[in-house]
Structure 1
Amino acid sequence: MSERPFDIVLFGATGFTGKLVAEYLAKEAKGRDVKWAIAGRNPVKLEAIRRDLARSDTTLLDLPLRTAESHDVASLDELVPQAKVVCTTVGPYSKYGIELVRACARHGTSYCDLTGEPPFVRRSADECNEEATKNKARIVHCAGYDSIPSDLGTLLARDHAGEDLAWAKVFVGKVKGAISGGTIASMLGIMELAKSDREVRKLLFDPHGLDPVRGDADRDPFEDDQRSVRFDKDIGRWTAPFVMATINTRVVRRSHAILKAENDKGYGPSFRYNEAMSFAKGPAGLLSATAVVAAVGAFMAATAIGPARAALERTVLPAPGEGPSRASIESGFFEMHVLARTESGRMIRGRVAGDKDPGYGGTAIMLAESAMCLAKDEASLPQRWGILTPATGMGMQLVKRLRAAGMTLEAHDA
């Protein structure tokens, strides 16, 4: 792919998160010899983004612009072969994403996104894996806060252990940030689809629904989605369901299944995974966990009722393309704790953390670094292609990049 004019094309640069990714690339790409362009459907908005970027670096007045539309196959077939990697923030991906994945698979162009939508990832894997593998395209879904901390945290625990894992759990710790309008739109879209589509409902309730081959894994209660408050004896804390566990757990299990298909073990021959939010061990922790369960339940109930959902969308929920202030993004933070047990009984602890709002600033860093990793680090990447995960598509090379970008990714014996 050395003859391609761009290392990266950022598709969706005019959206809220797309602008953050563009700003990060503008700051980081120049010193790393990364050739990039921004793309979208509206040339006027693209030009406005370019002018904004050029305020801090006038050379960006020459940043190339490209136009394409998510459902216009001809425009995508013109855009995609120009890049080694297409990095896209255009969601909801179930609505706008599949033609771009098909184009990348068709043209052997690698790809990364920040989807958190299991039905989209399943469709992408079913429809595009064979062609992407044949044409040596790495299609990496879920390369933002969903699901890089969970996926790389588990990979790092296995790498540090140097032996098979029996299980791993990830717990969401301290976090300050706002859920994005795009994430809300994706969640509401999935809920609406699940009402009328039995297969989507089955997928969402299947712990191994994103494995390369569904039905291969035995059902284990350890991996059932958490629905209520629990006291986790392994960490000695109260826990509650994490709203993004529905995608994160499936991504980690897909990583394990991809590796297991290659070496018959993956993270371990009997490896199991789950995740939750963690709170304090005493009454205050129980109260906090109970409040989270109640709030999530109330939200789900309200969004299931048409008038209530419409009222929330009008008055409370951020719309796609909307986001918090720059000060809020910069003052945000997140940390996720990994606990793993090896087959021999060793306990491994890990931590993945960042110092920006996870859904915006943190996600922009993770997605941009993923794009640069795919574009510039070919010699250091796992030699596999197709519909991949952050761990199986980039692995420890992405860990190195994110550490250099200021994130914490660590693992050690407990």
Structure 2
Amino acid sequence: MSNTDRTHDLVLWGATGVAGRLVAEHLTEQYTPDELSLALGGRDETRLCELEATLVEQCSDWQELPIVVGDATDRESLDAIAEKTRVVCTTVGPYTKYGTPLVEACISAGTDYCDLTGEVNWVREMIDRYHEDAVDAGSRIVHSCGFDSIPADLGTKLVQSFAIDEFETPCDLVRIYLEDGRGGVSGGTASSVVELFRAASTDPVARQTLRNPYSLAPPGERDGVDPGAQSFPRKDPLRGEWTAPSPMAVMNERVIRRSNALLEYPWGREFECTEVVPVGSGPVGLVGASAVTAGLGAATAALAFGPTREALRRFAFPDPGEGPTREEIESGYFTLRVLGRGTATDGPFVVESRVSADRDPGYGATAKMLGEAAMCLVREEVDSPLEGGILTPAAAIGDPLADGLRRAGLAVEVGEWDSDQT
């Protein structure tokens, strides 16, 4: 069966989870059955039917939503699902534990796929094991389609596209600023973090993946000039204020470098990117940057040590299936700014992009990002030479994803940097 001759356009796998339910709400609010053939997938048929009833009640356009039942550990049931849909959109993590059989099923069926993973060790495993198979199958496996890593990855792509169009040269340096935000943490996210650090404590490949800034690049190309994530407080070279390391840099920076490699280095092999948290200027900024750095270091040390990691899992982190309240999701927000510096024939320039939302970044906004990434795949709204492989949002979809995010209510902007507005 060809990819265009399937029962469903999109199966939302893990629809009854915290993130999955938000994605389902977004898709049914944003689209109609005439625009999208959507099915709800998971292992608990009763809960799926309850969700279907709620969605039908909330959205008058939808009279019914098909239900597909399977098990994340049962390859046969996943094969049956993948063969009947054009795109699988999954929120079921930790992906290290539950993601691989579904990736295998989608590649086998020539089905496109997108997820929310921030587990860099698992993405490295998927690249090494399945990239060539996905290329041969024409299956686009697009990881990290939420707050990890669409704002940073797409923001960088927009900056580079603008620079090339306006100045006929890319930026050689990109700085990503996690400027502001408020949101909650779910049990699923906490479990993913625990699995990442558990893997790093026992698996040499996972440890090497976390240490090497180019660990998600194609095999044979896993080195370069970029020193990797910032480790200490630093005065920013573009904005002149103090910055601290970003907790998301470990994933986002590697995703961006993979985008550059997959697109055959349009930004050059000397390209460098760093994600940071801006804190402020002067002595107060230095104190703030030092405090953020110390807190991040303490959290990393606690997660790296088995007994404290287990204690955090049991007593501090929410249980799987738990997440922020509806009020917390709707009162959350974030702003991520990307600055790119380059040199044109008539001198240096700086380009800016911004992605922001008035929803919790990890859930309310992430649900819209994942849903719109899936819709770009469904509608073939992509600007990419790549027809298959283990891909990134910027490399698989590219600039059209910005239009999808805008339709979903996120603010996405790009242009020359006005330093007076920072």
Moved more, 101-110 or 381-390: 381-390
The answer as to whether partners of 1:338 and 1:349 remain within 8 angstroms in 2 is: yes
For 1:307 and 1:380, locate their aligned partners in 2 and report how far apart those are by CA, in whole Å. 47
**In the alignment, structure 1 residue 250 sits paired with structure 2 residue 271:** no
The answer as to whether partners of 1:7 and 1:376 remain within 8 angstroms in 2 is: no
Q: Percent identical across equivalent pairs?
A: 42
Alignment of 1:213-232 (within 5 A): 213-221=219-227, 224-232=228-236
SS of equivalent residue, structure 1 residue 279: strand
Residue 75 of structure 1: CA displacement? 0.4
Q: What residue is the counterpart of 1:356 in the other structure?
A: 359
Q: 1:105 to 1:343 in 2, by over 3 A?
A: farther
Alignment of 1:212-361 (within 5 A): 212-221=218-227, 224-260=228-264, 265-344=265-344, 345-361=348-364
Alignment of 1:67-86 (within 5 A): 67-86=69-88
Moved more, 315-324 or 7-16: 315-324
The answer as to whether partners of 1:170 and 1:337 remain within 8 angstroms in 2 is: yes
The answer as to whether partners of 1:29 and 1:35 remain within 8 angstroms in 2 is: no
Q: 1:307 to 1:136 in 2, by over 3 A?
A: closer
The answer as to whether partners of 2:381 and 2:400 remain within 8 angstroms in 1 is: no
1:135-171 deviation per Cα after TM superposition (whole angstroms, max 9, x unaligned): 2111100000000001000000011111222111101
Residue 279 of structure 1: CA displacement? 1.2
For 1:86 and 1:4, locate their aligned partners in 2 and report how far apart those are by CA, in whole Å. 12
The answer as to whether partners of 2:178 and 2:276 remain within 8 angstroms in 1 is: yes
For 1:136 and 1:309, locate their aligned partners in 2 and report how far apart those are by CA, in whole Å. 40
1:85-130 deviation per Cα after TM superposition (whole angstroms, max 9, x unaligned): 0000000001000111111111110000000011111111112111
For 2:89 and 2:9, locate their aligned partners in 1 and report how far apart those are by CA, in whole Å. 10
Residue 269 of structure 1: CA displacement? 4.1
For 2:287 and 2:140, locate their aligned partners in 1 and report how far apart those are by CA, in whole Å. 44
Q: Which letter maps to 2:270? A: S
Q: What residue is the counterpart of 1:179 in the other structure?
A: 185
The answer as to whether partners of 2:386 and 2:395 remain within 8 angstroms in 1 is: no
SS of equivalent residue, structure 1 residue 154: helix
The answer as to whether partners of 1:17 and 1:321 remain within 8 angstroms in 2 is: no
Q: What residue is the counterpart of 1:409 in the other structure?
A: 412
Moved more, 166-175 or 288-297: 288-297
Residue 297 of structure 1: CA displacement? 2.3
Q: 1:353 to 1:388 in 2, by over 3 A?
A: same
For 1:343 and 1:137, locate their aligned partners in 2 and report how far apart those are by CA, in whole Å. 37
Residue 246 of structure 1: CA displacement? 0.4
Residue 383 of structure 1: CA displacement? 4.4
Residue 173 of structure 1: CA displacement? 0.2
Residue 24 of structure 1: CA displacement? 0.7
Alignment of 1:138-217 (within 5 A): 138-162=140-164, 163-217=169-223
Alignment of 1:76-155 (within 5 A): 76-155=78-157
Moved more, 351-360 or 377-386: 377-386
SS of equivalent residue, structure 2 residue 287: helix
SS of equivalent residue, structure 1 residue 2: coil
For 1:96 and 1:66, locate their aligned partners in 2 and report how far apart those are by CA, in whole Å. 17
Residue 131 of structure 1: CA displacement? 1.8
For 2:304 and 2:104, locate their aligned partners in 1 and report how far apart those are by CA, in whole Å. 32
1:22-48 deviation per Cα after TM superposition (whole angstroms, max 9, x unaligned): 111111221661001011111111112
SS of equivalent residue, structure 2 residue 6: coil
1:354-373 deviation per Cα after TM superposition (whole angstroms, max 9, x unaligned): 11110000100000001111
Residue 286 of structure 1: CA displacement? 2.2
SS of equivalent residue, structure 2 residue 263: helix
Moved more, 290-299 or 92-101: 290-299
**Structure-2-length-normalised TM-score:** 0.92
Q: 1:271 to 1:75 in 2, by over 3 A?
A: same
Residue 60 of structure 1: CA displacement? 4.3
Q: 1:382 to 1:406 in 2, by over 3 A?
A: farther
1:226-258 deviation per Cα after TM superposition (whole angstroms, max 9, x unaligned): 222111132111111111110000000000011
Q: What residue is the counterpart of 1:20 in the other structure?
A: 22
For 2:176 and 2:118, locate their aligned partners in 1 and report how far apart those are by CA, in whole Å. 17
**In the alignment, structure 1 residue 399 sits paired with structure 2 residue 405:** no
Q: What residue is the counterpart of 2:371 in the other structure?
A: 368
For 1:12 and 1:35, locate their aligned partners in 2 and report how far apart those are by CA, in whole Å. 17
Residue 316 of structure 1: CA displacement? 2.5
SS of equivalent residue, structure 1 residue 346: strand
1:271-329 deviation per Cα after TM superposition (whole angstroms, max 9, x unaligned): 11111111111333223222222222222333344454444333321222211111111
Q: 1:195 to 1:307 in 2, by over 3 A?
A: closer
The answer as to whether partners of 1:13 and 1:46 remain within 8 angstroms in 2 is: yes
Residue 58 of structure 1: CA displacement? 5.5
For 2:308 and 2:271, locate their aligned partners in 1 and report how far apart those are by CA, in whole Å. 42
Residue 192 of structure 1: CA displacement? 1.1
For 1:179 and 1:214, locate their aligned partners in 2 and report how far apart those are by CA, in whole Å. 37
